[in-house]
A and B are shown apart, each in its own frame.
Chain A
Amino acid sequence: MKNSDRLIRAMIWDRRRRAFFGVLRELRHDRPGFIGLLLLTFFGLFALAAPLIADRSALLAASGRNNPDLAAPSAKFLFGTDEIGRDVLAQLVWGSRVSLFIGLFATLVAVVIGSVVGLVAGYAKGKVSAVLLAIDDFFLVVPFLPLAIVLAVVLGRSPLTLAIVIGFTSWAGSARLIRAQVLTLRERAYVERAQALGAGSWHVIRRHVLPGVAPLIIANATLIVPVAILTESTLSFLGFGDRLSPSWGKLLDGAQSSGSITINAWWYFLPPGLCIIGIVLAFTMLGRALERIFDPRLRGR
């Protein structure tokens, strides 16, 4: 019994590994998807290499005391300095971690809520499904930036709270998608067979329905990350977040409020803006490519 269990598990993992490399192989032939993956790798390395590029202490307000304010790029400061003399490059590299962390954590929150709501609303019938759909409708219709703003004002302005708030406001679309997929899966013969053999709802959802929607969840999650990063930059720009550990959006807020635009201190506002565009493009291109790979009907779009 133990041995056959182990064998089945090994087979499952083998299949998953092959599926993973199969997706990678297909990605190599999907040009936008491949570019997205490369860009993403670049930003990932950039974030990992932060300690090698700049010391964290360069983020402290005191670090800029002896430097010129809003100085143009030079050999010492490749990206110039901000309004209190801090190195912009240091804030940019360390900011990549903040932006990525909030984007990924928010996506995790959104995917968990969206998957649970989508799976249950699709699998259960009757009142449970109707109530979940009504909640989903509410979150789809209510404008999500104002909603995120009032939540963040009441709950707090720290990066972690921001991530939770963003996740909490952006799951409705994926719940809808996942539910639609579950509705078709539950009518499949293998699901009916499992039910006929006496499998409980929980078992069927976990073993038969979830694997069927997993590709959709993965592609969808990849497309939530860029939206979460954009939302984070917007909220930071409006004053949330931490000035001493700035995300890219917070840097743009600093650039805006310090008047760097009026004196055309492009080295201050251009890099964080371009980084946001780059990372959002990377995730979007990769996500759309994954959608194409997982759903052959979308090929050729």
Chain B
Amino acid sequence: MSWRYLLKKVGGAFLTMAVVVVFNFFLFRIVDRDPLAKYRGRSKLTPEQRETMIRRMGLEGSKWDQFVVYVKSVFRLDFGRSFDSTQPVLEEIKMRLPATLLLVGVSTLLTIFIGLYIGTKAGWRRGSRFDKASTSASMVLYSTPEFFFGMLLLAFVAGRTGWFPTGGLRTVGADHDFVGNILDRLHHLVLPMLTLTLGYLGSYALIMRTSMIETLGEDYLVTARAKGLKDSEVMSRHAVPNALLPSVSLIAISCGYIIGGAITTETVFSYPGLGLATANAIQNNDLPMLQALFMLASAAVILFNLIADIIYAFLDPRVKRVE
């Protein structure tokens, strides 16, 4: 991988993030003429309170002055105070970030591994019973809103059997030792994780199946077979690595969907992460919180895409020649 390629991709990622930052200002300060009107529902602000809020939120002076103040505060990671809790937004986010990272991280890994495995097998044995069954199942999974899975799991698994807690991050008031605490948290993680995994498994399997089928007719597979390799070796050493290539960038883009899915999943299970914070911020018109969450989600997806571009260049040496 050449330095030029790397530099170009990193530069592109920073540029996209800069556009997100500018877009955010445009949306919340120019399209929205009076952000304060949304402060804490309909409770009226006294003129003095209004003055304080305007100063605190950097709404003084011309739009250009405001923009300078805004950009400086973004660099300091100062997103103001939540309309709802009146705590600094950064603190609120820091508090909830680990829970979401755990949920989204584990679910993403599970989705990628299971989805790619199913897609590989289905594509390799195209038209087989496994292919037909898994493709139909993937289509249904793809068509189901992930929060509906959550509701089904809550009603028919947690509600009926009582095997799993119906929500939250851990048992409130329980006194566990270190290991017990970890087990308790994992116990609470199972259903939300299952919801998110089921919600996005289908699309990953379908993507991988399509790219597997695309490799089937390639000459290098004929060569590999002619060399006398076993079917499983042809698949794992020649077909899969090539089929993975187009999947990598598609998967990076769909990571954005999983982040979106975390919003509703956490809402269904009252799982106190950033997704639940987003849902609450929508209910309360909590603009400072929403701005920060939007920028964080964008930054995460942009980072993911950058990583995918770098992985891509490692997997496919042709990339640097094309660039």
Contact = CB atoms under 8 A, between A and B. Distances in A.
A234 B147 contact: yes
Contacts of B291: 150
B298 A234 contact: no
A233 B147 CA distance: 10
Contacts of B142: 280, 284
A249 B16 contact: no
A146 B32 contact: no
A281 B143 contact: yes
A237 B260 contact: no
B79 to A, nearest CB: 13
B159 A261 contact: yes
Contacts of A142: 16, 20, 256, 298, 301-302
Given A155-B31, A249-B145, A239 B260 contact: no
Interface stretch (B52-60, B178-186, B189-197, B282-290): B282-290
A138 B301 CA distance: 11
B140 interface: yes
Interface string A164-198: 00000000000000000000000000000000000
Interface string A129-162: 0000000011011111111011101110000000
Interface stretch (B86-94, B148-156, B227-235): B148-156
Given A146-B294, A234-B260, A153 B145 contact: no
Interface stretch (A6-14, A41-49, A101-109, A269-277): A269-277
B144 A239 contact: no
A149 B282 contact: yes
Contact of B298 (A143, A237, A284): A143
Interface string A258-297: 0001101010010001001100110011000000000000
A150 B263 contact: no
A240 interface: yes
B279 A230 contact: no
Nearest to A137: B16
Nearest to B284: A239
B282 A269 contact: no
Contacts of B66: none
Interface string B151-177: 110110001100000100000000000
Contact of A239 (B27, B257, B279, B290): B279
B304 to A, nearest CB: 9
Size band of the interface chain A makes with B: 35 or more
B213 to A, nearest CB: 6
A273 B145 contact: yes
A143 B140 contact: no
B145 A239 contact: no
B260 A138 contact: no
Contacts of A145: 256-257, 259-260, 263
B28 A276 contact: no
Contacts of B148: 252, 269, 273, 276-277
A88 interface: no
A127 interface: no
B108 interface: no
Given A143-B259, A233-B145, A266-B155, A149 B19 contact: no
A301 interface: yes
B263 A141 contact: no
A144 B287 contact: no
A146 B293 contact: yes
Contacts of B319: none
A201 interface: no
A1 B298 CA distance: 58
Interface in A33-74: none
B221 interface: no
Interface in B239-264: 253, 256-257, 259-260, 263-264
Contacts of A226: 143
B301 A141 contact: yes
A138 B279 contact: no
A145 B259 CA distance: 9
B268 interface: yes
A255 interface: yes
A153 B285 contact: yes
B297 interface: yes
Contact of A150 (B166, B257, B294, B305): B294
B278 A149 contact: yes
**The 7 residue pairs across chains A and B that have the minimum distance between CB atoms:** A145-B260, A143-B256, A280-B143, A273-B148, A146-B297, A281-B143, A154-B32
28 contacts: A140-B253, A142-B16, A143-B260, A143-B300, A143-B301, A144-B256, A145-B263, A146-B260, A146-B298, A147-B298, A150-B24, A150-B294, A151-B27, A155-B31, A234-B147, A237-B145, A252-B145, A252-B147, A262-B166, A264-B155, A264-B159, A269-B148, A276-B143, A276-B144, A276-B145, A281-B143, A285-B139, A300-B126
Interface of B: 16, 19-20, 24, 27-28, 31-32, 126, 139-140, 142-145, 147-148, 151-152, 154-155, 159-160, 166, 210, 213, 253, 256-257, 259-260, 263-264, 267-268, 278-279, 282-283, 285, 287, 290-291, 293-294, 297-298, 300-302, 305
